[in-house]
Amino acid sequence: MRGLLDQLQCGVVSDPGGRLANDDRYMLFSTHVAGRPRCTMIAVLDGHHAHHVASAVRDELPRAFVRAQHAEGDLLRALGASVAALDEHVYALFERGAFRTGGTTLLAGVVAGDRLFTANVGDCKALLSVRGAGEALNTCHNPDVASERRRFAAAGVGTAADFILCSDINVCRSIGDWDLGQPLKWRDDVTGAARGPLVADPELRVRRLTDADEFFVMASDGLWDYYTPDSSVVTDARRALRANRGDAQACSEWLLGQALLRQRAVLHPGTPGDNITIAVVTLRPLPQLPRHSRSRLNLRAVGPGDGA
């Protein structure tokens, strides 16, 4: 596993998906805080009610993460603290009148040494290819998740399969959305603490990377809602990487094209789709395909279209 960051490549692409505006944002950067391993972070953000909150979070993310690394002794705690700081940053902007409404989801992946850390708020999703099999790296915070529904029910807020009552959003966790107020998200008048079931608490995970881990795909829901089943994204990405000699950017662009085709196939003509942002992060070259033959006397290497 030595030199993993030296092999890491990232390709990112974003598209309005048939809408007039693209409220998705993304960020890719590396940090090296003294006494800690060098980190590479990839983040995907899906804004709602315009792009302003997503843009503000993207711009502040590197600073928040570096500050949290200095303050926290553990990288996973630092990742969680940086997300909390981002929600505070958005609240301060909201109070100053920088914007009146809006929020964003955030999915961040951090590769540091032989560890992959993830922090998720909302419904973006990441899958890791483990020898071609897809492994989920996070849980989506939608109303169809039982634990998310229970939290809202305990606060007296009803949910449906794909939206939250008393609101016009369909995610159970977000950064921002301070304008929604009670009963969803507001400040305690005495303590100043955030209140309400619409939390910005991230789901945090850490995973040790092994030689079986090949690449991961992170994307906003504009990919996953129309590109099903989820596992097919990993299968198709693996094929696209082989066909493009491991080029992560070419792979992300190819996946985008496929997602747009699938959107148009299921939507009525003239109906806008959804913004799509896709990041493909390769951890190592894919293993060579095994040689095989169509007859015992005709051995050859398999071409890109012959297998995964």
Residue 272 pLDDT greater than 60, yes or no: yes
pLDDT of residue 292: 59
pLDDT of residue 291: 66
Mean pLDDT over 284-289 rounds to: 89
Asked whether 13 and 267 are in contact (CB, 8 A), the reply is no
Q: How confident is the model at residue 228 (pLDDT cuts 50, 70, 90)?
A: confident
> Of 21-30, 172-181, 295-304, which range is least confident?
295-304
Mean pLDDT of the chain: 92
Which SS3 state, helix, strand or coil, does residue 217 take? Answer: strand
Q: Where are the alpha helices (DSSP H) in the chain?
A: 4-7, 52-71, 75-96, 146-154, 221-224, 230-243, 248-266
- At 148-183, the pLDDT tens digits run 999 999 999 999 888 898 888 999 999 999 999 999
pLDDT of residue 303: 43
The whole-angstrom separation of Cα 266 and Cα 254 is: 19
The H or E element that residue 15 is part of is strand 9-15
Q: Which two tokens stand for residue 174?
A: 């977000």
- To 5 degrees, how large is the angle CA 234–CA 139–CA 282? 35
CA 125 to chain centre: 5
pLDDT of residue 299: 39
HSE-CB of 110 using CA atoms within 13 angstroms: 27
Residue 5 pLDDT greater than 50, yes or no: yes
- At 97-124, the pLDDT tens digits run 999 999 999 999 999 999 999 999 999 9
Query: Which phi and psi (to 5°) does residue 261 adopt?
Result: -60, -40
Residue found by looking up tokens 């985008």 in the block: 256
Q: How confident is the model at residue 4 (pLDDT cuts 50, 70, 90)?
A: low
Closest CA relative to residue 13, chosen from 170, 219, 209: 219
% the chain with pLDDT above 90: 83
